[in-house]
Amino acid sequence: MQPILVTAMDLHRSGDLEHASRLYEKVLVHEQDNAEAMHLLGVLSHQQGNHMRAVELIARAVALLPNAFAFHTNLAEAYRAQGKFVRAVGCCRVALTLSPNYPEGLCNLGAALQGLGQNSEAAVLFRRVLEMRPNFVTALNNLGIALHELGEQNAAIEHFRHAVELQPTFVPALTNLGRALVDCGDAEQALTPCQQAVQLEPDTALLQQNLGNVFRVLGRNVDARAAYLESLRLDPDLALSYAHIGLILRSDGKCVDALPWLRKATELEPTNSIFWESLAEMYDELDEPSESITCWRRLVELEDGIAGPHIGLGRALQDEGFLSEAAEHFHAALSLQPVAVMAYAGLAAVHQQLGDLAKAEDLLRSAIRAQPDFAPPHGSLAMLLRAKLPNDDLAALEQRLADQQIGEGPRARLLFGLAHVLDGRGDFARAADCLREANSLESRRRYAAYSPDDHERFVDVLVEQVNSEFFSRLSDAGNDSRTPVFVFGLPRSGTTLTEQILSSHSQIHGAGELRLVRQSFTAIPTVLNQRSA
């Protein structure tokens, strides 16, 4: 069988794994205890991603030739691929007992220690390997990973670059170089190595995902989505790609379109708190507190002992009118983080809704004392007290407005608060100026992706479709019950007044502004599996 084994090894080295595998198996049919064929078939199985079979085969080869130190080293790699790092360390130590200066054994031991989080110890081993073999690209790449984890970013990049210079087609080093450059804020430089990695291995899903990450950081959202979609075509279970597509759509102002992508990410990784938080915030932006409550509750379970999820859940519960439970979560947040300003602000809003304005004021002042430079409590206090806002508080508010570094959202909040104070004091002209600027900031922040042309096309399609024929076709589709009455109309057209007049009847209850119609309307593209207008 030796000639067949030699041929199999040549095919293996050339990358023809399928034919090499058949020949290794042929050798083992005739020579069941051929340790070399068994070992190499195990290595080949590892390369194909079948790590369990690799362990079985290489372990059997080790039993046949226990002094073959290379066998122990490759068994370690198969264990490491399964996440069994302690076993991998053990295999490497046996190999090094047999051959103390075996570079591959030292390198694989370092990689196994990295899996256990022991990066400092791993770095020592990689440096020892490079002293023996300076151009060992795997050791250079692994040392770069260890340095990156230890916070030595520039040194890590230097080692990744050296590995790429020595072997330009070494995909792991190209990938790690790209990631490290992105982490250092140099996405422009990261693009080339990530593109080269994809060109070398176009069918590797994680490389497409890495390329998408670079495009996303560069703001090239269309290219990023294309890369993420390609990664999902290759591996439909990549939760991060789903999440990033959702976040890109959200940044483009398409929150409704983003929802199914983020929901899929949470389904694939139900314990990923970042995904749940992004989904909760998305529902908050869409004014869907009933949906966001579910997400925030899940996040409270996952992030036990963290204040933020309690604050998010409290705000969503407050929006749905569950004031007592909302207050409980705001208090929980403050017990975890006594200077949680948004928890104070949330509690203040709850007490304001309950009519306890003095307590609301006290809580807002607690928020300001906890973080004097944080703008929202200043604005909320101004809106609460209006003309009664003391001059010292007014001066503090205007001081915050003078800060040119303040964001658009907080600045708008301050301007709305100042407008309430000025209006109450009779300074109507300046109040109007504040409202004009605040509204402009809010519009720019909330509707940055708004396109008048797109909206006009949407209205034209709506008018064309919802015609007399449409209503004639649906004339018999209504509910015979005379109980529900829906009042529709443009803003400021008297719909609220109409509801109040009707609900003054003893047998009619005014339900307020319901989200049913908007929810149904925005769900139409998803239900019909069509792109939204």
Question: Which pLDDT tens digit goes with each residue over 334-391?
Answer: 999 999 999 999 999 999 999 999 999 999 999 999 999 999 999 999 999 999 999 9
Which pLDDT band holds residue 453 (cuts at 50, 70, 90)? confident
Read off the pLDDT of each residue in 73-91 and give the average, rounded to a whole number: 94
Q: What does the domain layout of the chain look like in residue ranges? A: 1-117, 452-472+485-528
Higher pLDDT pick, 2 / 311: 311
CATH class, domain 1-117, is mainly alpha
- Cα–Cα distance, 394 to 398 (Å, whole number): 6
Residue 95, SS3?
A: helix
| 222 pLDDT above the threshold of 60 | yes
The mean predicted confidence, pLDDT, of the chain is 91
Which pLDDT band holds residue 137 (cuts at 50, 70, 90)? very high
- Cα–Cα distance, 230 to 228 (Å, whole number): 5
Rg (CA), the chain: 32
Which pLDDT band holds residue 516 (cuts at 50, 70, 90)? low
Instruction: Output the pTM of the full model.
Output: 0.75
Burial class of residue 422 in the structure, from the number of CB atoms within 10 Å of its CB (0-12 exposed, 13-18 middle, 19+ buried): buried
Q: Which residues of 101-130 are buried (b: 16+ CB within 10 A; e: fewer)?
A: ebbbbbbbbbbbbbbeebbeebbbbbeebb
What is residue 477's predicted lDDT score, i.e. its pLDDT?
A: 73
What is residue 532's predicted lDDT score, i.e. its pLDDT?
A: 53
What is residue 448's predicted lDDT score, i.e. its pLDDT?
A: 62
- Cα–Cα distance, 155 to 83 (Å, whole number): 27
Cβ atoms of 172 and 201 closer than 8 Å: no
Q: Which residues contact 442 (CB under 8 A, 6 or more apart)?
A: 412
